[in-house]
Amino acid sequence: MTAARGPGEPVDRLVTSGTFSLDGGTWEVDNNVWLIGDSHEVLVIDPAHDLEAISTAIGNRRVVAFVCTHAHDDHVNQAPALADRFGAPILLNPDEMPLWRMAHPERQPDGWITHGQVLHAGGLDLRALVTPGHSPGSTSFHAPELNVLFSGDTLFQGGPGATGRSFSSFETIIESIRDTLLTLPGDTQVWPGHGDFTTVSSEAPHLEEWIARGH
């Protein structure tokens, strides 16, 4: 799923494998790591699982930031090691700190992401949309020039992200999806933290079904 403009530009998708642990359980997971930029600089969303594969994908480019959609350990486990290796900041919404502290008690993020904040990489804008529910400060990123939404674990093909574990709320994720994500143009491609992509218009008609089924 690489968009036009040259190999790996402006968006590269890397699928990495590892585990997610919370509430005493551990699960095998595959994560999407997104690299957005050009041949000079890159912004990395959700540095998961594979330090060497992500380092190789970055290459000798300058890293603008390691940006975390949320702080479940599968999305942030390589953030400190990569931040040290590439001398780049880790950015996160502050409401994710209870989860961040569980993943990395020894290390703070370097900066905060807030709703509406715009990040830049390789001439592209990436607007932060704070979309809580899956976790308290879950954040999606909209790249209007690419017509792409990086939705983290908030919106997937087939419905909202999981809300059955600690620090989650089904009512809140529905509100975030309805009031923030589904207001984007219908042809916006939605690229989540796991699995395949979808579009706003393919998901929007199912909102009432999700509410009725409760997940």
List residues near Fe ion by CB under 5 A: 72, 153
Neighbours of 181 (CB within 10 A): 23
8 A C-beta contact, residue 31 and residue 48: yes
- Phi then psi dihedrals of residue 171, to 5 deg: -60, -40
- Nearer of residues 74 and 203 to Fe ion, judged by Cβ: 74
Minimum distance from residue 120 beta carbon to Fe ion (Å): 26
Minimum distance from residue 77 beta carbon to Fe ion (Å): 12
Neighbours of 110 (CB within 10 A): 15
- Nearer of residues 146 and 173 to Fe ion, judged by Cβ: 173
- Nearer of residues 72 and 142 to Fe ion, judged by Cβ: 72
For 43, the enclosing helix (H) or strand (E) is strand 41-45
Minimum distance from residue 122 beta carbon to Fe ion (Å): 27
Question: Any idea what DSSP says for residue 105?
Answer: T
- Nearer of residues 8 and 160 to Fe ion, judged by Cβ: 160
8 A C-beta contact, residue 51 and residue 68: no
8 A C-beta contact, residue 18 and residue 54: no
Minimum distance from residue 87 beta carbon to Fe ion (Å): 27
